[in-house]
Amino acid sequence: MAVPEEGPKPPPPGLAGLFRLLGLQGPLVGLSALSASVAAALGLVPFFIVSRMATAIYAEPARLEEVRALALVAVGALLLRYTFVAGATVLAHVAAFRILHDLRLRIAHKLGAVPLSFFSRRTTGSLKATLMDDVNQVESFVAHNFPDAVAAVVVPLSTALALVWVDWRMAVASIIVAPFAVGAMAYTMRNGADAHVQWNAIQHRMNSALLEYIRGIKVIKTFGLSASRFGELSRSIQEGLQWMEGFMRTNGRGYGAFGALIGSSLVFLVPAGGWLYSKGELSLEELVLFLVLGPQLLMSMMRLMFAWGNVEKVQVGNARIRELLLTPDLEERAGTQAPAHDGLSFRQVDFRYDAAGPDVLRQVTFDAPAGKVTALVGPSGAGKSTLVKLVPRLWEATGGVVALGDVDVRELPLEQLLSRVSMVFQDVFLFHGTVRDNLRLGRADATEAQLEAACRAARAHDFIRALPQGYDTMLGERGARLSGGEKQRLSIARALLKDAPVLLLDEATAFADPENEARIQEALSELCEGRTVVVVAHRLSTIATADHIVVLEGGEVRDQGTHDVLLSRCALYQRLWASHSDAQDWTLGGAALPAPGGMEVAS
């Protein structure tokens, strides 16, 4: 098993996990919470001042100098409060964004270390939600909810104790509705965690459907569909609406009762205070103090309720982050032997996509000699592309051995293995960035001369020079500015730059037009020279001269040998070759297509 990376462990579940997320930023978050508490306490000073002002104003005669002095104290307290608020905000956001930075780096590292099977069990939308939405919720919790929650607990408690000291009866009247408000909210939030899980599942489905909708927009437009008619997206949006309507029907009355009770303390304070004042058991200053400060005790509960609601949301996201970070990395055995050569060998290789699924490959055995071209052929679904992906460990063989230079690829450090392998697949992925940026994925330190040489060899230099800014031209997402053949030639240039001794080609010319195919074939011929090559191709004419051909069907090897040998003895290869030859002569509707002007052209 791979050695775990150094660094903080994944957060444990529950509230302990939220505090573990603070990590090394705990002191900053603590200072932020302290500053927020001081700011909240300073915010109560004007209420005490108002009670003192009342006695000064209604005194005989009125003590106006005292009123002015008290007003200056109130202004000073407010200015000091804003200073502490600013300090709390800065400290909390610095800590939050450091945590966000660390979490995203750890998740990105983990995504690069897990096997490809991890992604087959998850949608792009769910991964995006974990990497962006769940991590953003952690940032929001640290930057806003945690300092506010601490202040919402510390300040009201200390204030309540001070009010009890002034007059315990009025203090009780201030909070008499609190148990009822808490009970209403507890009843409302009794299934809060489950509700957040359901809501997040709907959001994930909506994210995945939206991404699929955007990726397939050309097909959707072709069939005259819209977002409202695109099944999964429409269903997930409708589910979200139904969930929200149901949630508000179930919980709306509870939230309303909580808000009404929180704001009703004056209903008890005014008659209680008036009665005690009339009996001479409460001074005017004390009466005003309770009337202006008493309601603030319960209003702080509103902030605490919102903070707790966000805690439940963060806990759900924290569980997904934890699950991702605890996913086992791609297994690496502690091997020390270096490959003796660049040949590949497959020994009784089995593979299935998941433990409960059927075998995709069964007992596959053959050699791809060093410096030679080995071709994999067979009908669709034979397992050809899967077999190629076992070499760089994009997938992991579930049985048998895939070896490079007689060393099991699992016993080679992954970085060393990948440094010896280049891949050119039919589905070329180009990143949003310049042509030069995409080329340097093959070799980060490549010079301009090396870039140009690789592109010339890949027959890509001319079309790159014709782009608006040449090698500095920004490519759209997934290389949207380029044709399929141009993308393929850029991928070949990347492979040439990497200059790895083992080359894997999976349908590299599958989507190319005749002109581009000829250029790609020229580039591939140069790329293959002197390398160990494993090539998958449906067009058998492109691999007829291969040194070795392996015929696959149903995940098993049916025969292997040269083209001539297989034509003489392998019935499956004979059928494949016949089908390929028939396809070469095929014309639309069984006749040549009429060209403009009445000329006949082959299809």
User: What domains sit in the chain, N to C, each tagged with a CATH number?
Assistant: 344-420+500-601 (3.40.50.300)
pTM exceeds 0.75: no
Residue with tokens 């990143």: 431
With a CB cutoff of 8 Å and minimum separation 6, the contacts of 395 are: 115, 116, 117, 351, 353, 386, 389
What six digits make up the tokens of 143?
A: 């930057």
Q: Is the pLDDT of residue 590 over 90?
A: no
Question: Where residue 18 falls among pLDDT bands split at 50, 70, 90?
Answer: low
- List, edge to edge, every strand of the sheet that includes 344-351: 361-368, 344-351, 399-404, 407-408
Average of per-residue pLDDT across 16-20 = 62
pLDDT in tens, 252-277: 676 677 767 776 777 777 888 888 87
Average pLDDT of the chain is 77
* pLDDT at residue 346 in the model: 94
In the chain, % of residues over pLDDT 90: 7
* pLDDT at residue 529 in the model: 78
Question: Where residue 111 falls among pLDDT bands split at 50, 70, 90?
Answer: confident
304-308, 365-369, 500-504: segment of lowest average pLDDT: 304-308
In the chain, % of residues over pLDDT 70: 77
Strands 532-536, 407-408: parallel, antiparallel or unpaired by DSSP?
unpaired
Q: What 3-state class would DSSP assign to 225?
A: coil
101-115, 137-151, 426-440, 508-522: segment of lowest average pLDDT: 508-522
Average of per-residue pLDDT across 308-318 = 71
Average of per-residue pLDDT across 316-330 = 78
The amino acid that residue 175 corresponds to is I
* pLDDT at residue 557 in the model: 92
Average of per-residue pLDDT across 230-254 = 72
* pLDDT at residue 25 in the model: 76
With a CB cutoff of 8 Å and minimum separation 6, the contacts of 123 are: 204, 207, 208
Average of per-residue pLDDT across 297-313 = 69
Q: Is the pLDDT of residue 349 over 90?
A: yes
Question: Where residue 492 falls among pLDDT bands split at 50, 70, 90?
Answer: confident
* pLDDT at residue 182 in the model: 72
Dihedral pair phi/psi, residue 402, rounded to 5°: -110, 120
What six digits make up the tokens of 569?
A: 């003895």
Question: Where residue 279 falls among pLDDT bands split at 50, 70, 90?
Answer: confident
Between CA 15 and CA 133 the distance in angstroms is 19
Q: Is the pLDDT of residue 172 over 70?
A: yes
* pLDDT at residue 224 in the model: 60
Q: Is the pLDDT of residue 21 over 70?
A: no
* pLDDT at residue 591 in the model: 47
Question: Where residue 549 falls among pLDDT bands split at 50, 70, 90?
Answer: very high
Contact predicate 152/226, CB 8 Å: no
Question: Where residue 189 falls among pLDDT bands split at 50, 70, 90?
Answer: low
Q: Is the pLDDT of residue 600 over 50?
A: no
With a CB cutoff of 8 Å and minimum separation 6, the contacts of 354 are: 117, 120, 121
* pLDDT at residue 201 in the model: 74
Average of per-residue pLDDT across 107-113 = 81
* pLDDT at residue 426 in the model: 74
Contact predicate 304/149, CB 8 Å: yes
pLDDT in tens, 60-87: 777 778 878 888 888 888 899 889 888 8
* pLDDT at residue 552 in the model: 92
* pLDDT at residue 487 in the model: 85
* pLDDT at residue 515 in the model: 61
Average of per-residue pLDDT across 324-335 = 72
170-179, 242-251, 513-522, 526-535: segment of lowest average pLDDT: 513-522
Q: Is the pLDDT of residue 490 over 50?
A: yes
Q: Is 165 left (phi over 0), alpha (psi -120 to 50) or beta?
A: alpha
pLDDT in tens, 400-442: 999 998 889 888 888 888 888 888 877 777 887 888 888 888 7
* pLDDT at residue 215 in the model: 66
Question: Where residue 599 falls among pLDDT bands split at 50, 70, 90?
Answer: very low
Average of per-residue pLDDT across 529-543 = 81
Between CA 213 and CA 3 the distance in angstroms is 39
* pLDDT at residue 350 in the model: 93
The amino acid that residue 17 corresponds to is G
